[in-house]
Chains A and B, each alone.
Chain A
Amino acid sequence: MRALAIAGCNLRRLTRERSNIFFLFGLPMVLILLIGLSFGGGFTPVVGVALNDDGPLAAELVALLEEVEGIAVETFPDAAALQVAVERGRAQAGLAIPLGTGAALRAGSPVSLGYIARPDGLSPTLRSAVEGAVARQAGRLRAARLAAENGITFEQGLALARRIEPQIPPVVVETTTVGEALFPEDLGRFDLGAASQLVLFMFLTSLAGATRLIETRRLGISRRMLATPTAARTILLGEGLGRFGISLLQAAIIVGGSMVLFAVSWGDPLGALALVATFALVGTGASMLLGAALANDRQAAAIAVLLGLGLAALGGAMMPVELFSPVMQQVAQATPHQWAIAGFGELVRHGGTVADILPHLGVLTAYAAALLTVGTWLLRRTLTA
């Protein structure tokens, strides 16, 4: 088939330059590493503490924080170092305990602890962990102060409170999903960060493939192909086939590699493959459209970056669509990225299979078909103009 011949020719052009092969597989490797380390199982958020009071009460507060499950506590010398650590991401949140805290806690006078966090989805969870530790200690101190009014010393009261605390029947909060499954304490398992990054990079690198078609046009190869009994549609398909194959292969490597090496969850493997394949098709369609429409490589680079990053942002690949305003949530539905991410959400968060993401696959295929159709029309126009 002619399209296959064109695709084969392109692949041979590609592989002739040895450096291209390295780059083709270098990117997926880097992505596997970064996605795997960032979104794989086993991420423990760090709450930093700048402890400037060396009294026992301040130390107890830190100890209570350390008892909270699911977080790790690191100490820093002062508030400034803590600030830098949170900015650089070494800690996800920080609590500054100033000098005099212990004395104020003991006396029951007002105390203000400084809290700082990265503005991401973890913040409410970490904040409530800190508030929980503070509340536990406040409870003990209040109990001790009240007991001290009735004949025992504050220290005795505090020791008493600590001793009987485990025996007090607690009021607890049980968090579940609608389906009775326990909501995980750490949000990592339901995080769609890996899927978002994959979608972003698949589309961006697909668009970079527009240059090939531009080159083919510029060299006059497409015109010569059109002079033979070859339809413009076949030329486009041939150009696209190679690009699609590479995009799909890269994505499959990333998904498979990160799943196996880092336990990143992508949901049902067949569903993930189907999503990745249809999204690769969309990316290919977009790059063919650009390749047919634009006049030179330089224009293509500018538009590729704009569309690649812009659509990803609009589609919720950089900031979760959960945090968008209602208007922007509607706009996000118009991007293929959001459909792909929502599809992964179905697979990862709801344990869905291919059957559950059929609407998503359908929409993505429709996008791809539309892009390829318009691309073909444009190509024919520019070649026969």
Chain B
Amino acid sequence: MPALLLIASKDVRQRIRDGSAIAMALIAPFGLALIFSLVIGGAAGPTTFRYAVADEDGGSAARTFTTEVLGRAEATGSVTVRHAASAAEARALVEDGAVAAAFLLPAGFSDEVAAGRPAAIRVVGDVDAPTSTAVARAIAGAYAAEVNSVRLAVGTVTAGSGGLDPSEAAALAERLAADPRNVSIDDRTALRRELDAGTFFAAGMTIFFLFFTVQFGISSLFEERTTGTLGRLLAAPVTRPAIVGGKLLASGLVGVLSTSVLILASSLLLGAQWGHPGGVAILVGAGVAAATGVMALVASAARSMEGATNAQAVVAVVLGLVGGTFFPLAQAGRAVELLSLATPHAWFMRGLGDLAAGGGPADVLGPAAAILVFAAAAGGLASTRLGKLVRA
């Protein structure tokens, strides 16, 4: 059996025996997928927004708000509304965290609305629940916009026709209230899986994790040097490329295995949609090649096992950061977004995005090629330094 394969199988068996293969290929990916499914699975489900309302007015407009507007929101099932007896009670509820935000309708609100005077609905929000507060603000804002639009219509008709008497104005207002809204906003976010939080995290964690799984291919050469087995290997009729190739193959196998477990586990547990399996396989293969190459390059610059491990960990973390696997980097600006393309991670995420949008293997050839460029460049540079590394 060729020396390369022998060395690779020896390395893999060693890793199984010392428990690291099981840890890296099974425990870690499965554990990660499980944790993410618990965290994101719960959050991906509809969150219930808890609000309170204090109607200190009781007039017609206030009642419209509390029963119709808030009632409609409650009917969607994602909002619950408590009725507080006073503004002070409502504020207390927010302060205690019993509700995320409270709507306050001050005394005189309905009169002001009916008379066409300025009026205000106050939303008191919990500072620790900014999203819920934003939704509450939107609910109140929609109601305010509706009232304002009625006022505008009445005002326009009045100005256009030279005046309306109160009964005409009231009739107009009623008609407007019954007027069906013809512009609808069709939220298409849920239809596109690539924006799915579960898939984003699964993809990011996978490529980040991959760089850790292939760490120990080349750096095990340090260990072999210390234990003396490298010298014996070199004394045998085994070429340097065979030694290096065997080690790379071993770490590549562990890398592919653990990534596959992570992908399977995350689609089972997290409901992550990876897309066409062929495309995923291409991306993972390219990713393993790039990771192996980069980690080999980093190891070749180190002088000890410990130094190699440290440097590899830092490089993996930095690449993960800059590659946008932890948070979308577009927030940081176009320049940083461009910078992220200097990492294989960003290309991996793009490729997965294309797959999740329904693309096939052909669509990922571009990103895969970009990733392979990293593999070739890093691997090429590493190979020039291997003479230094592979010596007794």
- Looking at chain B, what size class is its interface with the partner chain? 35 or more
Nearest A residue to B137 by beta-carbon distance? A175
Contacts of A124 in B (CB 8 A): 131, 134-135, 138
Question: Whole-angstrom distance between the alpha carbons of A349 and B147 in the complex?
Answer: 33
Nearest B residue to A136 by beta-carbon distance? B145
| Inter-subunit contact B123/A174 (CB<8 Å) | yes
| Inter-subunit contact B181/A138 (CB<8 Å) | yes
- Looking at chain A, what size class is its interface with the partner chain? 35 or more
Min CB–CB distance B364 → chain A (angstroms): 15
Min CB–CB distance A191 → chain B (angstroms): 8
Is A193 part of the binding interface, using a Cβ–Cβ cutoff of 8 Å? yes
| Inter-subunit contact A174/B152 (CB<8 Å) | no
Q: Which of A108, A297, A298, A306 sits near B182, CB closer than 8 Å?
A: A108
Contacts of A350 in B (CB 8 A): 127
Given A23-B311, A170-B118, A208-B310: A164 and B172 interface contact (C-beta under 8 Å): no
Is B165 part of the binding interface, using a Cβ–Cβ cutoff of 8 Å? no
Is A128 part of the binding interface, using a Cβ–Cβ cutoff of 8 Å? yes
Of the 9-residue stretches B13-21, B370-378, B379-387, which lies at the interface with chain A? Answer: B13-21
Of the 9-residue stretches B190-198, B271-279, B282-290, which lies at the interface with chain A? Answer: B190-198
| Inter-subunit contact A115/B188 (CB<8 Å) | yes
Question: Whole-angstrom distance between the alpha carbons of A46 and B148 in the complex?
Answer: 27
| Inter-subunit contact A152/B160 (CB<8 Å) | yes
| Inter-subunit contact B212/A302 (CB<8 Å) | yes
Contacts of B357 in A (CB 8 A): 87
As a 0/1 sequence over residues 37 to 49 of chain A, the CB contacts with chain B under 8 angstroms (1 = contact) are 1110001000000
| Inter-subunit contact A116/B189 (CB<8 Å) | yes
Q: Which of B27, B126, B155, B353 sits near A178, CB closer than 8 Å?
A: B126
Min CB–CB distance A361 → chain B (angstroms): 19
Among B132-156, those with CB < 8 Å from A are: 132-138, 140-153, 155-156
Contacts of A197 in B (CB 8 A): 326-327
Min CB–CB distance B281 → chain A (angstroms): 22
Is A385 part of the binding interface, using a Cβ–Cβ cutoff of 8 Å? no
Contacts of A38 in B (CB 8 A): 327, 329, 331-332, 336
Given A142-B179, A171-B121: A115 and B144 interface contact (C-beta under 8 Å): no
Contacts of B388 in A (CB 8 A): none
Interface centre among B128, B172, B179, B333 (most CB of A within 10 A): B128
Interface centre among B144, B156, B302 (most CB of A within 10 A): B156
| Inter-subunit contact A147/B212 (CB<8 Å) | no
| Inter-subunit contact A128/B27 (CB<8 Å) | no
Is A284 part of the binding interface, using a Cβ–Cβ cutoff of 8 Å? no
Question: Whole-angstrom distance between the alpha carbons of A174 and B153 in the complex?
Answer: 24
Min CB–CB distance B10 → chain A (angstroms): 15
Contacts of B149 in A (CB 8 A): 135-136, 138-139, 142-143
Among B35-70, those with CB < 8 Å from A are: 35-36, 38-40, 42-43, 45, 47
What 3 A-B pairs come out closest when comparing CB atoms? A89-B330, A139-B149, A298-B20
| Residues of chain B having any CB pair with chain A under 8 Å | 15, 18-20, 23-24, 27-28, 31-32, 35-36, 38-40, 42-43, 45, 47, 91, 94-95, 113, 116-138, 140-153, 155-157, 159-161, 172, 176, 179, 181-189, 192, 194-197, 201, 205, 208-209, 212-213, 215-216, 301-307, 309-311, 313-315, 317-318, 321-322, 326-334, 336-337, 350, 353, 357
| Residues of chain A having any CB pair with chain B under 8 Å | 17, 19-20, 23, 26-27, 30-31, 33-34, 37-39, 43, 83, 86-90, 95, 104-105, 108-119, 121, 123-125, 127-128, 130-132, 134-136, 138-140, 142-144, 146-147, 150-152, 156-157, 160-161, 164-165, 167-178, 183, 187, 190-191, 193, 197, 200-201, 204-205, 208, 211-212, 215, 295-299, 301-306, 309-310, 313-314, 318-320, 322-325, 327-328, 331, 345, 349-350
14 contacts between A and B (CB under 8 A): A23-B314, A108-B182, A116-B189, A124-B134, A143-B157, A146-B153, A146-B172, A147-B159, A160-B160, A161-B152, A164-B156, A171-B144, A178-B126, A323-B47
Given contacts A124-B131, A174-B120, 13 further A-B contacts (CB under 8 A): A17-B303, A20-B311, A23-B311, A83-B192, A119-B196, A125-B138, A135-B145, A139-B145, A172-B121, A173-B122, A208-B313, A299-B23, A313-B35
